[in-house]
Amino acid sequence: MPESILSVEHLKKHFPTKQGLVRAIDDITFSVAPGDTLGLVGESGSGKTTTAQCVVGMYPPTSGEIRFKEEQIGTAFKRRPKYVKGDLRIVFQDPGSSLNPKRTIKQILSIPLKVHHIGTQHDRLARMKELLNMVELPADEYLYKYPQAIGGGEKQMVALARALATNPSFVLLDEPTSALDVSVQGKIINLLIRLQRELNLTYLFITHDLSLMRNVSSRVAIMYLGKLCEIAPTVEFFERPIHPYTKMLLSSIPVVSDAEEALKPRKAISKGEIPSPVNIPPGCSFHSRCLARNGRCAEDDPAMVEVAEGHFVRCHAALESELSGHGPA
Amino acid sequence: MRQERKADFLASLAQRRRTLAKGWYKYSRNPLSVLGLVVLVLIGLAAALAPHITPYPAQAGAYTDFQNAGKPPSFEHFFGTDRIGRDVFTRVVFGYRFSLLLGIVVLGLGVAPGVVLGLIAGYHRGTWVEAVIMRTTDVFLAVPPLVLALAITAMLTPNLLNEMFAIALLWWPWYCRLVFAVSSSLRSQFFVREAELSGASEAHILFREMLPNCLAPILTKMTLDMGIVILLGASLSFIGLGAQPPTPCLGTMVADGAKRLPGEWWGTIFPALAIVIVILAFNLVGDGLRDVFAVEEV
C-alpha cells in the first residue's frame, strides 16, 4: 500500500435517537493516498455524508481513528490544531446554504485568509482575485456581488474558491454537483479535475452517481448501511466488480446504446430498499436484498478481505465463488 | 498597487449604494411609509431644534403666567395655554424631546444585551448555555410589563432616568427571544458550519455571520417598538411614575390637562394627538422596513 494522507480506521459514529441507536457509520476502514481521488458512493442513508462530516470534524466519532498526515484528528474540530483546519477543507452539497446571503463574495473569501493570517490586507485582495480566476470566474465582476445575485454553479465555484483559499492539500467534496443543473455539473467536474492536477490536491469525493466516478476518481468505495462493501481501483471496480451490491448498482446505471450495455456486468436485478439504520439486519447487512446470499450471510458479518492489489471486498458468497474460480489465492 | 486599492474601495462603495438604492425603491413603493418617514424626520428636527423654533421656549419648564392661563388656541398660542399660562405648543415640542430620548435610550439599553444573549443562546442551541439564557428570559416574560415597570419605578425615585431603566429592563427579553428564534435556525446552515470548520472565532461567527442575517427582524421590531415604548413611557408619566413636573413630558401633560376636561380640552387633546402621531409614524416606517426585508427574503 502506498503511504496515505488520510487514513480512517474502525471509524464508528452512532446517534442515539428516540427510535433507537442509529448506526450511521459502523466500523469502516479506508485510506487515501496523496494526489488520489477516492470516490465514496452509496445510496441515501448509507452514511457517506456522515463519514465526510466526521472526517472534517463536524461530529466527534463514537470510536475509531482518523489520521491526517500522521496526525490523530479523530476529535471535534475545536480540539484540532489550526493548521489542520486550513489543510483539510470541505465543499458542501448545497451552495445556496454554504454561502452567507448577507455577505459579498469578497467578504466570504476573506474569512479563511483572515483566520489563517494569510497575507497583509493588500495581498489578500490580490489573492482573492487569484482564487476567483482559479475557478474561472471574472474576479473584478464577482468580487462585490452577493450570493443571491449569481447562479448555483457559480456559487459552488465560489465555495470551491473559499475551500482553496488556505492552500489545502485535501478537499472533501460532499456531493458537490448533485444540487446543480446538469449543464453546469460537467463544468464543475472538469474544474475539479484541472485544479487537482495543478494544485496537487487529494479528494474524497462523495456522491451517489456511479457513472461520475468512472471519470473522476482513482479508487471507488461502496458504502451500504454504514459499512463499506467493496473498495477497488476504478478500472478494476468497473471491469471486475465482486460484491453483489456493486453489481446491482452498476447494472442499474442507465445507458443509451447497446455498446454501453455490453460494458455493464450481467444484469443483476435491483430489489428492495435500503433498510432503516436503526434496525440493521443481523449478519451481513445486505443479505435481505442480496441475490447471492447463502446460509452464513444472515448469521455472521463478513470481514473485509483483500482479493487483489488494493481491491477489498466484504462478502461471504463472493469470496467463496472467487476462491473456487481462481484456485487458492 | 495604490490604484488597485482605490478601485477596490470604489467598487465596494458602488455595491453598497446599489443595495441601498434597491432598498429605498422597495420602501418608497408604499406611500404611507414614506409619509411616516417624513413625519418622523419633521418631528425629529422639531425636537432637536426645539429652543430655536418654538415661540416661547422659556415656558417649557418652570414658568407661570396666570394672566394668560387657560387661553384657547389662537394665533399667539397655536395649541392654547395650560392652567398656569404656559404655551402648550412649546411644551408639546419639548415633550417630543423626552419621548424620543426615552425611546432611543430604552431600545439602546434593551436591544443590545437582548440581541447578544439571543445570538449566544442560538449558537449554543441544545446546551446548558441556551437553557440558562432562555429560562431567564422566560422569567422576565412571565411578568406583565407594565406591572414590572410600575414596581421598579415605585421602588426607585420616579424620574425620567429610572423610568428608562425600568422599561429597558423589561425590553431585552423580547429581543433575546426574537434573535434566538432566528439564530438557532441559522446555526445549522452550512455557512455557519463552514466558518466554524475553517477555524473562525466565536465572535466572528456571532457578529459577522449570524447577526447580519438577524438584522431584518431586529430593525423592523425596533421601529414598531419605538411607538410602544413611547406609549409605555407616557402611561408611566400619566400615573405620575415618570418624569416629574415641571419637565415637559407628553404623558404628564395629558394627565394634567385631563383634570380640566371638557372645558379646556386643548391641554389634553394636543399632547394626546402628538403621542398618537409619533406612534403612527413609527408604525408606518416599521411596515415599510418590513416590506424592504420581506421581499428580499423571497
- Mean pLDDT of all residues in A151-172: 92
Nearest to A102 among B14, B201, B212 (CB): B212
Q: Read off the amino acid at residue B200.
A: A
How close is the nearest chain A Cα to the Cα of B200, in Å?
A: 6
Q: Read off the amino acid at residue B40.
A: L
The DSSP letter of residue B206 is: I
- CA distance linking residue B89 with residue B269, whole number of Å: 12
Q: Quick one: angle between helices B172-186 and B88-123, nearest 10?
A: 40
pLDDT band at B122 (very low <50, low <70, confident <90, very high): very high
Per-residue burial over A190-211, b = 16 or more CB atoms within 10 Å of its CB, e = otherwise = ebbeebbeeeebbbbbbbebbe
- CA distance linking residue B192 with residue B95, whole number of Å: 46
- CA distance linking residue B267 with residue B258, whole number of Å: 8
What are the CA-CA distances from residue A110 to residues A104, B279, B287 (Å)? Answer: 10, 42, 35
Residue of A nearest to B208 (CA): A103
Show the domains of chain B with their CATH numbers.
Answer: 95-283 (1.10.3720.10)
Phi-psi region of A175 (alpha: psi -120 to 50; beta: other; left: phi over 0): left
Of A129, A97, A92, the closest CA to residue A110 belongs to A129
Quote the percentage of chain B above a pLDDT of 70.
Answer: 98
Q: Residues of chain A whose C-beta is under 8 A from some C-beta in B?
A: 56-58, 77, 82, 85-86, 89-90, 92, 94, 97-104, 106, 111-112, 115-116, 122, 125-126, 140, 143-146, 162, 166
DSSP state letters, A274-312: PPPTTSPPSSSTTTTT-SS--TTTTTSPPPPEEEETTEE
Angle at A93 between CA A88 and CA A99, to 5 degrees: 80
Grid cell 471574472 is found at A138
Interchain contact, A103 vs B204, CB within 8 Å: no
DSSP H or E run through B279? helix B266-297
pLDDT band at A1 (very low <50, low <70, confident <90, very high): very low
**Threshold 0.90, pTM exceeds:** no
For residue B217, the chain A residues in CB contact (below 8 A) are: none
A126-130, A256-260, B28-32, B270-274: least confidently modelled range: A256-260
Quote the percentage of chain A above a pLDDT of 90.
Answer: 29
Q: Would the CA dihedral through A60, A63, A68, A72 be positive or negative?
A: positive
B201-205, B271-275, B293-297: least confidently modelled range: B293-297
Q: Is A15 helix (H, G, I), strand (E, B) or coil?
A: strand
Q: Would the CA dihedral through A257, A259, A265, A266 be positive or negative?
A: positive
pLDDT score recorded for residue A329? 36
Contact (Cβ atoms closer than 8 angstroms) between residue A221 and residue A40: yes
- CA distance linking residue A162 with residue A100, whole number of Å: 12
How close is the nearest chain A Cα to the Cα of B197, in Å?
A: 6
Show the domains of chain A with their CATH numbers.
Answer: 6-326 (3.40.50.300)
For residue B200, the chain A residues in CB contact (below 8 A) are: 111, 115
- CA distance linking residue A177 with residue B278, whole number of Å: 53
- CA distance linking residue B261 with residue B58, whole number of Å: 26
Nearest to A104 among B15, B193, B194 (CB): B15
- CA distance linking residue B191 with residue A84, whole number of Å: 19
For residue A102, the chain B residues in CB contact (below 8 A) are: 212-213, 215
- CA distance linking residue A77 with residue A271, whole number of Å: 39
For residue B11, the chain A residues in CB contact (below 8 A) are: 140, 143-144
| pLDDT tens digits along A77-116 | 777 888 888 899 999 988 888 999 889 999 999 999 999 9
Q: Is A99 helix (H, G, I), strand (E, B) or coil?
A: coil
Backbone angles phi, psi at A118, to 5 degrees: -95, 115
Q: Is A315 helix (H, G, I), strand (E, B) or coil?
A: coil
Grid cell 470548520 is found at B197
- Mean pLDDT of all residues in B93-108: 88
Of A288, A289, A284, the closest CA to residue A268 belongs to A289
pLDDT band at B119 (very low <50, low <70, confident <90, very high): very high
- CA distance linking residue A181 with residue A95, whole number of Å: 12
Cell of A175: 456531493
- Mean pLDDT of all residues in B153-160: 80
| pLDDT tens digits along A3-44 | 789 999 999 999 888 888 888 898 899 999 999 999 999 888
Interchain contact, B212 vs A92, CB within 8 Å: no
- Mean pLDDT of all residues in A124-134: 91
Q: Read off the amino acid at residue B278.
A: V
Contact (Cβ atoms closer than 8 angstroms) between residue B110 and residue B123: no
Contact (Cβ atoms closer than 8 angstroms) between residue B119 and residue B298: no
Measured distance between the N- and C-terminal CA atoms of chain B, rounded to whole angstroms: 40
- CA distance linking residue B176 with residue A230, whole number of Å: 51
Measured distance between the N- and C-terminal CA atoms of chain A, rounded to whole angstroms: 18
Instruction: Give the strand pairing for A88-91 and A170-174.
Output: parallel
Task: Compute the mean pLDDT over every residue in chain B, rounded to the nearest whole number.
Answer: 85
The DSSP letter of residue B71 is: P
Size of interface A-B (CB pairs under 8 A): 73
| pLDDT tens digits along B192-230 | 999 988 888 899 999 999 999 998 889 888 888 888 888
pLDDT higher at A273 or B206: B206
For residue A85, the chain B residues in CB contact (below 8 A) are: 197-199
pLDDT band at B253 (very low <50, low <70, confident <90, very high): confident
Of B195, B190, B5, B189, the closest CA to residue A113 belongs to B195
A181-190, A194-203, B201-210, B286-295: least confidently modelled range: B286-295
Of A249, A296, A247, the closest CA to residue A274 belongs to A249
Phi-psi region of B268 (alpha: psi -120 to 50; beta: other; left: phi over 0): alpha
Contact (Cβ atoms closer than 8 angstroms) between residue A13 and residue A53: no
pLDDT at A148 over 70: yes
Q: Is A231 helix (H, G, I), strand (E, B) or coil?
A: strand
CA atoms within 13 A on the CB side of B156: 17
Of A159, A157, A35, A53, the closest CA to residue A100 belongs to A159
DSSP state letters, B12-54: HHHHHHHHHHHHHHHHHTSHHHHHHHHHHHHHHHHHHTHHHHS
Interchain contact, B11 vs A143, CB within 8 Å: yes
Of B109, B26, B51, the closest CA to residue B296 belongs to B26
- CA distance linking residue B98 with residue A277, whole number of Å: 64
Of A199, A198, A205, A240, the closest CA to residue A219 belongs to A205
- CA distance linking residue B17 with residue B28, whole number of Å: 16
β-bridge mates for residue A217, sequence order: none
Contact (Cβ atoms closer than 8 angstroms) between residue A232 and residue A220: yes
Q: Is A257 helix (H, G, I), strand (E, B) or coil?
A: coil
Of A31, A30, A80, A36, the closest CA to residue A57 belongs to A80
